[in-house]
Amino acid sequence: MTQELRIALAGLGTVGTGVVRLLEENADEIRARAGRDIRITAVSARDRTRDRGIDIASYAWEDEMAQLAARSDVDVVVELVGGSDGPALALARGALEGGKHLVTANKAMIAHHGAELAAQAEQAGVSLQFEAAVAGGIPVLKGLREGAAANRVERVYGILNGTSNYILSAMEKTGRDFTDILADAQELGYAEADPTFDIEGVDAAHKLAILAAIAFGTRPDFGAVETGGISGVRAADIAQADALGYVIRLIGMTDCAAGEDGKPRLFQRVQPYLVPKSHPLAAVDGPTNAVVVEGNFAGRLLFQGAGAGDGPTASAVVADLVDIARGNPAAPFGLPVASLASSSPADTAERRNRAYLRFVVSDRPGVMAELTAAMRDAGVSIESLIQHGKPEEAGDVLVAIVTHEGPERTVSDALAALAQSDCIAEPPLVLRVLG
């Protein structure tokens, strides 16, 4: 154990340079805690000469990233390139094939190919770790896999995308609309030029699929995540929610129950939720992430911190390296891959919750009667209804409804009945209330 642990780094973007800086700045602490030095021996990135504010002259350079996996002076390959397939996946496979440990921050790759890679790691007798793939610097995978290891996990949910949370909390504070705030966020670097993955829930869905697999001992099933984003949320929705005692947060939520055949039915949803103001997640604003793990003995555990950024992500990457240096043999998903169950998606028709429905309707007599009759006929019980906008004005108005708890099926039925109505000006927004 006194030999140094030798690292190859693929990708020198913000996270990669963060890892270089961290290993340098905290070298003393890391040596003491890991029991040996952790040293970068080789790196690869797109551009060798770009100024990154770090000195990479002492590391061997590989033009071809895949070559890192073949080097004899490397014990661990750290993949920080991104993308679910392509070069990242080729490197990951190559590294494990070559008997090297693999550490990655690549949520898309793990969500899509995690089980395959974990099986390969198991066979090769090496570690596969990806703490940085979920919730940045927050050690939530470790918390779930090890800290909560004694529990039957009842559900896991949280704020998994910093960009969306930044936008929603900025909308909340300023009263401004989505597109305005998105433009600001892009300017400030909180949102990317193409923000689709963040604002449409895909990034959160990647993370949720990983959390679900670890929580419930199932194979990651990204394809089955019901995925929605925040682009349909208006300032008016946030104002209605506020008036009713809620904030709106993009939440990834997962739980799991045995079906009639005994096989697991996995519920995975990413969607804006109405979060009661008294709930700890309501106080989470800006680009922060927070994950709640509910265990049958631990109760409600909350893990909160920075969900992205070079420092926090590098912190998680290097925590994995320290674990490997210490010889900690954690299974990536908490169980041997052969023990991971195949799940089916849960049927949500009978899932009970309260819903928030927002309609944009023509402002004319009879509209409210049509809306409420459709609710009644489908068996949806209305808890509160706010008609937003001044009825004397011409044009469309907003109607927001919060339902009593009931099966999701009834809401779907009501919306189906209203789908052909000419009083509905655009597709309604349907959110759930976090209970």
Please report whether residue 276 would count as binding a copy of itself according to CB under 8 A.
Answer: no
Binding mask 206-235 for a copy of itself (x = CB under 8 A): -----------x------------------
> Has 173 been annotated as catalytic?
no
Window of 78-86, 320-328, 346-354, 375-383 that interacts with a copy of itself by CB under 8 A: 320-328
The least distance separating a copy of itself from the CB of residue 54, rounded to whole angstroms, comes to 14
Helices (H), 56-161: 86-97, 107-124, 140-142
The least distance separating a copy of itself from the CB of residue 200, rounded to whole angstroms, comes to 27
Q: If we measure between CA atoms, which residue out of 158, 185, 163 comes closest to residue 174?
A: 185
Window of 155-163, 189-197, 220-228, 303-311 that interacts with a copy of itself by CB under 8 A: 303-311
Distances (CA, A) of 362 to 39, 391, 393: 66, 10, 11
Q: If we measure between CA atoms, which residue out of 305, 301, 282 comes closest to residue 293?
A: 301
Please report whether residue 198 would count as binding a copy of itself according to CB under 8 A.
Answer: no
Identify the residue among 11, 16, 94, 143 touching a copy of itself (CB under 8 A).
Answer: 143
Window of 45-53, 184-192, 254-262, 306-314 that interacts with a copy of itself by CB under 8 A: 306-314
Instruction: Considering the candidates 142, 173, 207, 390, report the single residue annotated as catalytic.
Output: 207
User: 102-125 in b/e burial notation, b at 16+ Cβ within 10 A?
Assistant: bbbbbbbbbbbbbbbbbbbbbebe
How far is residue 100's CA from residue 161's CA, in Å, rounded to a whole number? 31
- Going by the annotation, the residues of the binding site for NADPH are 107
429: number of Cβ within 10 Å: 18
CB-neighbour burial class of residue 187 (10 A; exposed 0-12, middle 13-18, buried 19+): exposed
Distances (CA, A) of 110 to 116, 218, 400: 9, 14, 39
Residues that bind a copy of itself (rule: CB under 8 A) add up to a total of: 61
Q: Which residue carries 């600001």 as its tokens?
A: 184
How far is residue 43's CA from residue 67's CA, in Å, rounded to a whole number? 10
Q: Which is nearer to a copy of itself, 114 or 295 (CB)?
A: 295
Please report whether residue 26 would count as binding a copy of itself according to CB under 8 A.
Answer: yes
Residue 341 is given by DSSP the state: B
Q: Which is nearer to a copy of itself, 46 or 173 (CB)?
A: 173
236: number of Cβ within 10 Å: 17
Identify the residue among 2, 3, 32, 72 touching a copy of itself (CB under 8 A).
Answer: 32
Task: Map the footprint of a copy of itself across residues 326-345, applying CB under 8 A.
Answer: 326-330, 334-336, 339
Q: Which is nearer to a copy of itself, 43 or 306 (CB)?
A: 306
133: number of Cβ within 10 Å: 24
The least distance separating a copy of itself from the CB of residue 301, rounded to whole angstroms, comes to 4
Q: Which is nearer to a copy of itself, 87 or 311 (CB)?
A: 311
Q: Which parts of this chain interact with a copy of itself (CB under 8 A)?
A: 18, 22, 25-26, 29-30, 32-35, 131, 137-139, 142-143, 145-152, 217, 280, 283, 290, 295-306, 309, 311-312, 314-319, 321-323, 326-330, 334-336, 339
What residues are labeled active site?
A: 207
